Amino acid sequence: MSRPEIVFVLARARNGVIGRDGDLPWRIPADLKHFKALTQGAPMLMGRKTFESLPGLLPGRRHIVLTRDRGWRAGGAEVAHSVDAAIALADADRLSVVGGAEIYALLLPRADRIELTEVDDAPEGDTVVPAFDPAEWREDAREAHPAADGKPAFAFVTLRRR
């Protein structure tokens, strides 16, 4: 099979924060539904910390974990020790890359599309992803959602490599 379309799926605050203490620094139910819809039916690639932060295996998706730890194993996880091995293991038309920051940085040169939830907030956090370079990425779609019920405004944005 040829290389899959590599799609980043992430939520990022204005200040670049994507996580705090192994969790999301916000609770936006619409973003979780959006994440599920975007990743359903495709293998997901993530780092060990991201896998361990999940509430459990997410139904309808394969969990490929990229880790340097040769002895690491977890029920329901397929393990890869290099980017090339992870992509080969996916053996699919599309590969959803779901975090964390190190995994995004490793795969950014190979990414084809970014499904970004822009969160209109600047929370404290310990995991940051820099803004995506507009010289490399063009915005194809944007769906804005206002702040409501104590939750920040956000937008679902699709970026494609130029």
Residue among 59, 24, 44, 66 nearest 115 (CA): 44
Task: Tell me whether the omega of the peptide bond preceding residue 100 falls within 30 degrees of 0, making it cis.
Answer: yes
Residue 1: per-residue pLDDT = 58
Q: Give me the residues of the chain with pLDDT under 70, please.
A: 1
**128 φ/ψ sector (left φ>0, alpha ψ -120 to 50, else beta):** beta
Task: Encode pLDDT of 132-158 as tens digits.
Answer: 999 999 999 999 999 999 999 999 999
Q: Return the pLDDT at 78.
A: 98
Nearest CA to 114 out of 75, 162, 50 is that of 162
Instruction: Please report the pLDDT score of residue 2 as a whole number.
Output: 78
CATH superfamily, domain 5-161, is Dihydrofolate Reductase, subunit A (3.40.430.10)
Q: Which residues contact 60 (CB under 8 A, 6 or more apart)?
A: 40, 41
For the chain, the domains span 5-161
Burial of residue 123 (CB within 10 Å: 0-12, 13-18, 19+) is middle
